[in-house]
Structure 1
Amino acid sequence: MDNQNLIDMANRIGDFFDSMPDRDEALAGVADHIRRFWEPRMRRALLAALDEPEENGVAMSAFVKEALVEHREQLMPAAPSTA
């Protein structure tokens, strides 16, 4: 999975929601969009990139970082069942 591409996509989502007047609603909007439309492995990779030092390339915006940190629990995919 290309983390730089995921970060770029997340930043574009963040750019859209960052224009909203209600910051809490905007942060929730970023997280909700990623939760609803990104598959679990994409969400896992994006959250892992959040914890890693920034590479040379596309940097995650502060707004997206804030949204991911604030809504991390709801973004984590459920563990696959072993049944």
Structure 2
Amino acid sequence: MADLKAAFAQAQIDVKTITKRPSNDDFLALYSLFKQANEGDVKGSRPGMLDMVGRAKYDAWAKLKGTGADKAMQQYIDKVASLLKTHK
């Protein structure tokens, strides 16, 4: 568990070193996995139709409902590793 948290913290640092812009889907995946790992299932109501960015973020996070924090952390770590290989 401590190793996973350390790797998760390192992935948060490593993601900032990506030089090529990831796709919007990659950004949403990183956002939703990070939120799921730190806060659990999405809370609150879905943003309105005019808030397209907020709505996309909410929807991406809502798809992870029921995913445990450890699993979300590992998926975040894996996603960052994948992006580092293709976006440096």
TM-score where L is the length of structure 2? 0.37
> Which protein shows a greater Rg?
2
